[in-house]
Amino acid sequence: MKKMNNKGFSLIELIIVIAIMAILVAIIAPNLTKYLGKSKAKTDKKNSDEIAQQIQTAITDYETDNGALLGDGSTLSLSWTSSGVSGVTGSFQTILDENITNSTQSKENSSNYAKADISKASGKYTILVTVGNESTKR
């Protein structure tokens, strides 16, 4: 009787391995997409916190050099796009450009990376920053 030299895998073995891999992917894929969504939300939250902190720093820097940025009852709206900050000009724009960097931009929003509403009441600033689906109030 002749001895066969079997060096490869049979078709059945390959089909079984592919089926097992397909089952594993079907189990893992939904969890992976859920974790990716959570990661994007956490990134947006971190970015909104950082923007709010840097806006507070920019306001402090501006008021140190130029006096009050807003009077009581006033509101200022800003937005960030790929081309920079819009909604303000002059020396406050310069201070914002120095404080807020591209690293705070969320790439999930298509038109605006972030929006901020700054209001002042009773001498206290309130900053509401929205990035993606996350907001930070300071």
Buried b (16+ CB within 10 A) or exposed e, 79-93: bbeeeebeebeeebb
Q: Which helix (H) or strand (E) holds 19?
A: helix 11-66
Closest Cα to residue 109, out of 41, 56, 21?
Answer: 41
In a domain, 76, yes or no: yes
112 has a pLDDT exceeding 90? no
For residue 1, being part of any structural domain is answered with no
For residue 7, being part of any structural domain is answered with no
Q: In Å, what is the CA distance from 136 to each residue of 8, 48, 105, 131?
A: 60, 6, 14, 9
The pLDDT, as a whole number, for residue 42 is 86
Burial class (CB in 10 A: 0-12, 13-18, 19+), 114: buried
Q: Residue 68 pLDDT > 60, yes or no?
A: yes
Residue 119 lies in a domain: yes
Of 81 and 25, more confident: 25
pTM of the model: 0.67
Nearest in space to 118 (alpha carbons), one of 89, 95, 138, 134: 138
In a domain, 54, yes or no: yes
Per the prediction, the chain carries an average pLDDT of 81
Distance CA 120, CA 98 (A): 23
Give the total number of structural domains in the chain: 1
Give the Å distances, CA to CA, from 15 to 18, 19, 35, 61.
5, 6, 30, 67
Residue 2 lies in a domain: no
Report if residue 47 sits inside a domain: yes
In this prediction, residue 67 carries a pLDDT of 84
Name the pLDDT band for 15 (thresholds 50, 70, 90): very high
Least confident of 13-17, 25-29, 101-105: 101-105
Asked if residue 53 lies in contact with residue 96, where contact means CB atoms within 8 angstroms, the answer is no
Residues shown for the chain: 138
Q: So what's the pLDDT on residue 16?
A: 96
What mean pLDDT comes out for the span 105-125? 74
pLDDT band at 2 (very low <50, low <70, confident <90, very high): low
- Asked whether residue 57 is domain-assigned, the answer is yes
Q: The domain containing residue 102 runs over which residues?
A: 12-137
Whether residue 101 has pLDDT greater than 70: no
More confident residue, 81 or 11: 11
